[in-house]
Protein backbone atom coordinates (compact mmCIF):
# COMPACT_ATOMS: atom_id res chain seq x y z
CA UNK A 1 0.00 0.00 0.00
CA UNK A 2 2.77 2.40 0.77
CA UNK A 3 4.14 2.13 -2.76
CA UNK A 4 0.77 3.09 -4.25
CA UNK A 5 0.53 6.17 -1.94
CA UNK A 6 4.06 7.18 -2.88
CA UNK A 7 3.31 6.75 -6.55
CA UNK A 8 0.14 8.86 -6.38
CA UNK A 9 1.88 11.67 -4.49
CA UNK A 10 4.75 11.66 -6.97
CA UNK A 11 2.45 11.89 -9.94
CA UNK A 12 0.54 14.80 -8.34
CA UNK A 13 3.79 16.68 -7.75
CA UNK A 14 4.94 16.01 -11.29
CA UNK A 15 1.71 17.33 -12.79
CA UNK A 16 1.66 20.58 -10.74
CA UNK A 17 2.74 23.65 -12.64
CA UNK A 18 6.14 25.06 -11.80
CA UNK A 19 6.23 28.06 -9.42
CA UNK A 20 6.35 31.39 -11.17
CA UNK A 21 9.16 33.73 -10.18
CA UNK A 22 8.21 36.73 -8.01
CA UNK A 23 7.92 39.93 -9.96
CA UNK A 24 7.86 43.10 -7.91
CA UNK A 25 5.15 45.56 -8.86
CA UNK A 26 6.31 48.60 -10.74
CA UNK A 27 5.71 51.71 -8.68
CA UNK A 28 5.92 55.01 -10.45
CA UNK A 29 7.94 57.66 -8.68
CA UNK A 30 5.87 60.44 -7.13
CA UNK A 31 5.14 63.44 -9.27
CA UNK A 32 6.43 66.88 -8.27
CA UNK A 33 2.87 67.85 -7.30
CA UNK A 34 2.53 64.77 -5.06
CA UNK A 35 5.82 65.64 -3.40
CA UNK A 36 4.67 69.23 -2.87
CA UNK A 37 1.39 68.04 -1.29
CA UNK A 38 3.22 65.60 0.99
CA UNK A 39 5.73 68.25 2.09
CA UNK A 40 2.93 70.77 2.70
CA UNK A 41 1.03 68.25 4.78
CA UNK A 42 4.14 67.50 6.86
CA UNK A 43 4.76 71.20 7.50
CA UNK A 44 1.13 71.71 8.54
CA UNK A 45 1.24 68.81 10.98
CA UNK A 46 4.59 69.99 12.34
CA UNK A 47 3.16 73.47 13.02
CA UNK A 48 0.13 71.94 14.73
CA UNK A 49 2.04 69.36 16.77
CA UNK A 50 5.11 71.28 17.77
CA UNK A 51 3.77 74.75 18.26
CA UNK A 52 0.05 75.49 18.26
CA UNK A 53 -1.25 72.58 20.31
CA UNK A 54 1.42 73.00 22.98
CA UNK A 55 -0.15 76.33 23.97
CA UNK A 56 -2.72 76.47 26.73
CA UNK A 57 -5.96 74.85 25.62
CA UNK A 58 -7.94 78.09 25.29
CA UNK A 59 -5.31 79.79 23.12
CA UNK A 60 -4.85 76.69 20.98
CA UNK A 61 -8.62 76.27 20.46
CA UNK A 62 -9.06 79.89 19.42
CA UNK A 63 -6.11 79.68 16.99
CA UNK A 64 -7.33 76.38 15.53
CA UNK A 65 -10.87 77.69 15.16
CA UNK A 66 -9.78 80.84 13.37
CA UNK A 67 -7.34 79.02 11.08
CA UNK A 68 -10.03 76.46 10.28
CA UNK A 69 -12.48 79.25 9.39
CA UNK A 70 -9.95 81.00 7.11
CA UNK A 71 -9.03 77.77 5.34
CA UNK A 72 -12.63 76.53 5.02
CA UNK A 73 -13.73 79.82 3.47
CA UNK A 74 -11.12 79.42 0.74
CA UNK A 75 -11.74 75.71 0.14
CA UNK A 76 -15.50 76.22 -0.14
CA UNK A 77 -15.19 79.43 -2.21
CA UNK A 78 -11.94 79.06 -4.18
CA UNK A 79 -12.83 81.75 -6.72
CA UNK A 80 -13.80 84.40 -4.14
CA UNK A 81 -10.88 86.89 -3.81
CA UNK A 82 -12.08 88.32 -0.48
CA UNK A 83 -11.37 84.99 1.25
CA UNK A 84 -7.90 84.62 -0.25
CA UNK A 85 -6.43 87.72 1.40
CA UNK A 86 -6.49 89.40 4.80
CA UNK A 87 -4.58 92.20 6.45
CA UNK A 88 -1.84 91.23 8.86
CA UNK A 89 -2.96 94.15 11.00
CA UNK A 90 -6.46 92.69 11.43
CA UNK A 91 -6.73 92.78 15.23
CA UNK A 92 -8.59 89.49 15.65
CA UNK A 93 -6.42 87.51 13.24
CA UNK A 94 -3.23 89.03 14.57
CA UNK A 95 -4.04 88.34 18.22
CA UNK A 96 -5.68 84.94 17.79
CA UNK A 97 -3.44 83.40 15.12
CA UNK A 98 -0.43 85.36 13.88
CA UNK A 99 0.97 86.19 17.33
CA UNK A 100 0.36 82.66 18.65
CA UNK A 101 3.53 80.57 18.41
CA UNK A 102 3.16 78.41 15.31
CA UNK A 103 0.48 80.59 13.72
CA UNK A 104 2.80 82.04 11.09
CA UNK A 105 4.30 78.57 10.47
CA UNK A 106 0.80 77.19 9.92
CA UNK A 107 -0.13 79.94 7.48
CA UNK A 108 3.08 79.44 5.50
CA UNK A 109 2.62 75.66 5.47
CA UNK A 110 -0.94 76.08 4.21
CA UNK A 111 0.39 78.08 1.26
CA UNK A 112 -0.16 81.67 2.38
CA UNK A 113 2.46 84.28 1.56
CA UNK A 114 2.90 87.87 2.64
CA UNK A 115 2.77 90.85 0.36
CA UNK A 116 2.61 94.60 0.80
CA UNK A 117 -0.41 96.44 -0.60
CA UNK A 118 -0.62 100.22 -0.13
CA UNK A 119 2.14 100.16 2.49
CA UNK A 120 0.32 97.51 4.52
CA UNK A 121 1.22 93.84 4.97
CA UNK A 122 -1.34 91.31 3.73
CA UNK A 123 -1.47 87.52 3.86
CA UNK A 124 -2.70 85.96 0.65
CA UNK A 125 -3.13 82.59 -0.97
CA UNK A 126 -2.28 82.52 -4.64
CA UNK A 127 -2.61 79.60 -6.97
CA UNK A 128 -5.00 76.77 -7.39
CA UNK A 129 -4.76 73.05 -8.02
CA UNK A 130 -1.96 71.81 -5.78
CA UNK A 131 -2.31 74.75 -3.39
CA UNK A 132 -6.00 73.97 -2.91
CA UNK A 133 -5.19 70.30 -2.31
CA UNK A 134 -2.70 71.33 0.38
CA UNK A 135 -5.33 73.65 1.82
CA UNK A 136 -7.83 70.77 1.93
CA UNK A 137 -5.28 68.74 3.89
CA UNK A 138 -4.83 71.71 6.21
CA UNK A 139 -8.58 71.88 6.75
CA UNK A 140 -8.77 68.16 7.58
CA UNK A 141 -5.86 68.44 10.01
CA UNK A 142 -7.22 71.56 11.68
CA UNK A 143 -10.67 70.00 12.09
CA UNK A 144 -9.19 66.84 13.60
CA UNK A 145 -6.89 68.70 15.99
CA UNK A 146 -9.70 71.04 17.03
CA UNK A 147 -12.09 68.13 17.70
CA UNK A 148 -9.43 66.29 19.73
CA UNK A 149 -8.64 69.38 21.78
CA UNK A 150 -12.33 70.10 22.38
CA UNK A 151 -12.78 66.51 23.60
CA UNK A 152 -9.78 66.91 25.91
CA UNK A 153 -11.15 70.17 27.34
CA UNK A 154 -14.60 68.64 27.81
CA UNK A 155 -13.15 65.59 29.58
CA UNK A 156 -11.08 67.82 31.86
CA UNK A 157 -14.15 69.94 32.67
CA UNK A 158 -16.21 66.84 33.51
CA UNK A 159 -13.43 65.52 35.71
CA UNK A 160 -13.13 68.88 37.48
CA UNK A 161 -16.90 69.02 38.01
CA UNK A 162 -16.89 65.50 39.45
CA UNK A 163 -14.07 66.42 41.83
CA UNK A 164 -15.94 69.55 42.87
CA UNK A 165 -19.12 67.56 43.51
CA UNK A 166 -17.07 65.13 45.58
CA UNK A 167 -15.56 68.00 47.55
CA UNK A 168 -19.02 69.52 48.02
CA UNK A 169 -20.36 66.22 49.40
CA UNK A 170 -17.34 65.89 51.68
CA UNK A 171 -17.77 69.48 52.82
CA UNK A 172 -21.48 68.87 53.48
CA UNK A 173 -20.67 65.77 55.54
CA UNK A 174 -18.10 67.68 57.58
CA UNK A 175 -20.57 70.50 58.21
CA UNK A 176 -23.17 67.94 59.32
CA UNK A 177 -20.63 66.41 61.69
CA UNK A 178 -19.81 69.85 63.11
CA UNK A 179 -23.50 70.60 63.63
CA UNK A 180 -23.93 67.20 65.26
CA UNK A 181 -20.96 67.89 67.56
CA UNK A 182 -22.41 71.29 68.47
CA UNK A 183 -25.75 69.69 69.30
CA UNK A 184 -24.02 67.04 71.46
CA UNK A 185 -22.03 69.69 73.36
CA UNK A 186 -25.15 71.76 73.86
CA UNK A 187 -27.02 68.74 75.22
CA UNK A 188 -24.12 67.92 77.59
CA UNK A 189 -23.89 71.50 78.83
CA UNK A 190 -27.55 71.47 79.98
CA UNK A 191 -27.08 68.42 82.09
> Does the residue 50 lie in any domain?
yes
pLDDT of residue 51: 86
3-state secondary structure of 55: coil
Residue 97 lies in a domain: yes
Is residue 149 assigned to a domain?
Answer: yes
CATH code for the domain of 129: 1.20.58.2190
Range of the structural domain that residue 75 is part of: 31-154
pTM over 0.85: no
Task: Count CA atoms closer than 13 A to 152's CA, side-chain side.
Answer: 12
The number of helix segments (H) and strand segments (E) in the chain equals 6, 3
Tell me whether residue 79 is in a domain.
Answer: yes
Asked if residue 41 lies in contact with residue 81, where contact means CB atoms within 8 angstroms, the answer is: no
The 10s digit of each residue's pLDDT in 105-137 is: 999 999 999 999 889 999 999 877 899 999 999
**Residue 26 lies inside a defined structural domain of this protein:** no
**Sign of the alpha-carbon dihedral angle for 164, 170, 172, 178:** negative
Identify the three-state secondary structure at position 78: coil
Residue 2 lies in a domain: no
The 10s digit of each residue's pLDDT in 51-98 is: 888 889 999 999 999 999 999 999 999 989 899 999 999 999 999 999
- 5 part of a folded domain: no
Where are any strands of DSSP class E within the chain? Answer: 85-87, 112-117, 120-125
Position 10 scores a pLDDT of 53
Domain count, the chain: 1
Tell me, yes or no, whether 160 lies in a domain. no
Amino acid sequence: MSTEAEASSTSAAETASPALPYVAPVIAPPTPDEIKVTEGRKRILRALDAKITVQDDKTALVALGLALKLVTNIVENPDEPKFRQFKASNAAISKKLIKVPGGVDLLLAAGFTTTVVDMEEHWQLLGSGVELIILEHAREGLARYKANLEAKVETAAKSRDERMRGLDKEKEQILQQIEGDKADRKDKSWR
